[in-house]
Chain A
């Protein structure tokens, strides 16, 4: 059970992204190369600014980790001892410089509360949980949203189009936590067919060997089918809630872009050559509509993270979002800074990835 500081899946997914970026860097045109280089270099000041802002905001808001750890009954001596131990008695600028020094050495520090574990260890348990929740939600939302958006565009102004539009507006405007609560009431309590909290049945959990901390993946690798069933069962409601909200976004986006593509001359020209309506919609119009959609998938990634925070809180899903909320409450400065850093880096990587993909799906784009 002793896992490397950043567990397998994080290294894995980050690795895939890096391999892809390096591949694009080596194979791409000189223009693309300098573009990637510029973007990577620009990421550094962005992360620096973000880290700085979070560092000071955390220290400006009232309360501190000592109070939350010791509670109101902590004696002044205990408090003073703990402050000294955590380095909180240093001037704030000294703390800041020390913190930056650690970041540069890729050290996220240790938690200020609850056993003072290294932040990387804590994140390596939490990040896989978030990936396990958000990845399927994103795949379902993009797949279903884009295809049903194209379907609505094809049947524009017919019953099915109005139905899908109504669904997308409703899904888009429902707060994800409210939808989560309703799903819990209906499926979890009313129908009693799905668990409403946690990632896996705690008893089954004992039998599962952890490798990547993505439970479904671990269960698959070790062939633990009971654990796989339980993990999927627990995944059902939270990913449904998150996927529904995101589907609304992608459905609207895909519908409007396919409609815009369908009035283009090349669609009429294709129709005049006898090409099937279905092929015109799902191949010609959609492949052109995908260009703005891919851009927005990149932009929606931050919305996805925000959604994940709310969904994890609603379903007690022990991921990054829930961790962030807990540690903000406990004023665990280093933990919050660590989460924000990971979020910022992943948003930067994803947006760079979408820009590179953009160059591949649109032959007109040359960096």
Chain B
């Protein structure tokens, strides 16, 4: 099985991210722990506002300075969260890089593609001469399917798919160990997206880089990832290899999520599952398990005690009382009215 024999690249431990808002603190990521292995593609899925993007940005410390981040992000034996500003700048781009949601707005409109890439190289390797850097850049972009003459273009002269390739070459140009792709294919149309994903997987295996794919598109994760982490309301609900999670989803949220994906076969009788309720307001998250108000399998314990993410098999972890024991678990709660 995967996982056991893999080397751990990033260890995330007890990660807490809190924003200050006018309505009080919002815990966007709440006590999350997981590992990212070397060379794997890990899909992080969840609804909008579940904290998945915040988590990606927290790993690179790209959140606004007022954000409170606690816990540990161990990368190469060092805790990224203790780095000073200079260490952090050296780390970004060189060890972890990020591919953003919208390639239309993530490139500087008044800068040529080549200048983006040269600048990125020379920030981290100032002694590198421009022609040498350009040589490296031409080889990289050709591998990514961009004609090398196009790097003299400005971003607005490229199509969306081309721009996304440029974003990926910007992510790969310094040979990082981890790439965080935050909704990286959302803005592409489906045909381009499918082609792009095939190529992407191939290239990424070739470069031997790990990827954290952040998306709300569960089909994309099925297509691309080795493992999946399902996030709900700032916590990881379920985590495991995609074969296990898709064949045998354990958490009621994962089950609901999988049932609410429309299939391409036109079946008139197919009824899509609609998850009841709304995602919780994270300024006042529900007590106990954060999913319990919407859970079809809710038990009395769920509203009083918080479950934790635990292994059910060597390859699958779930954050749910259905699979965990607790002294109060089977005792019905008695409503005491004074």
Contact = CB atoms under 8 A, between A and B. Distances in A.
A248 to B, nearest CB: 27
A50 interface: no
Interface stretch (A60-68, A177-185, A198-206, A264-272): A264-272
Given A265-B100, A364-B156, A272 B92 contact: yes
Contact of A269 (B98, B110, B156): B98
Interface stretch (A273-281, A293-301, A312-320, A343-351): A273-281
B103 to A, nearest CB: 9
The winner among B91, B94, B110 for most chain A CB atoms within 10 A is: B110
B105 to A, nearest CB: 4
A268 B108 contact: no
B62 interface: yes
Given A275-B123, A364-B156, A266 B108 contact: yes
B111 A284 contact: yes
Contact of B102 (A265, A274, A287): A265
A362 B106 CA distance: 17
A302 interface: no
B108 A272 contact: no
B105 A264 contact: yes
A363 interface: yes
A57 to B, nearest CB: 44
Interface in B67-126: 89-94, 97-98, 100-102, 105-111, 119-120, 123-124
A266 B93 contact: no
B154 A364 contact: yes
Given A265-B105, A363-B156, A272 B97 contact: yes
Contact of B90 (A264, A266, A269, A274): A274
A262 B105 CA distance: 12
B124 A271 contact: no
Instruction: Name which of A269, A270, A288, A362 has the most chain B CB atoms within 10 A of its CB.
Output: A269
How many residues of A sit at the interface, in one of the four size bands? 20 to 34
A272 B93 contact: yes
Contacts of B108: 266, 270, 284, 287-288
A274 B62 contact: no
A268 B92 CA distance: 11
Contacts of B107: 266, 269
B151 interface: no
B62 A268 contact: yes
A269 B106 CA distance: 6
B89 A363 contact: no
Given A273-B93, A274-B124, A287 B110 contact: yes
A367 B119 CA distance: 30
B91 A272 contact: no
A273 B109 contact: no
By secondary structure, the A interface counts as helix
Contact of A274 (B92, B106, B109, B154): B92
A166 interface: no
A274 B97 CA distance: 9
Interface string A327-367: 00000000000000000000000000000000001111000
B186 to A, nearest CB: 13
B20 to A, nearest CB: 14
Nearest to B167: A269
B170 interface: yes
A361 B110 CA distance: 8
A95 B189 CA distance: 70
B106 A266 contact: yes
A34 B229 CA distance: 58
Contacts of B302: none
A276 B94 CA distance: 14
Contacts of A265: 100-102, 105-106
A318 to B, nearest CB: 43
Nearest to B101: A265
B60 interface: yes
A150 to B, nearest CB: 15
Contacts of A270: 108
Contact of A272 (B98, B101, B109, B111): B98
A274 B110 contact: no
A224 to B, nearest CB: 45
Contacts of A284: 108, 111
30 contacts: A265-B102, A265-B105, A266-B105, A266-B108, A266-B109, A268-B62, A269-B98, A269-B106, A269-B107, A269-B167, A269-B170, A270-B108, A272-B60, A272-B97, A273-B120, A273-B123, A273-B170, A274-B89, A274-B90, A274-B120, A274-B123, A275-B123, A276-B89, A279-B123, A284-B111, A287-B110, A287-B111, A288-B109, A363-B110, A363-B156
- Closest CB pairs A-B (n = 10): A274-B93, A273-B93, A265-B105, A274-B92, A272-B98, A363-B154, A269-B106, A265-B106, A266-B108, A273-B120
Given A269-B107, A363-B156, 13 more contacts: A268-B106, A269-B100, A269-B167, A272-B97, A272-B100, A273-B97, A273-B170, A274-B89, A274-B93, A274-B123, A274-B124, A284-B108, A291-B110
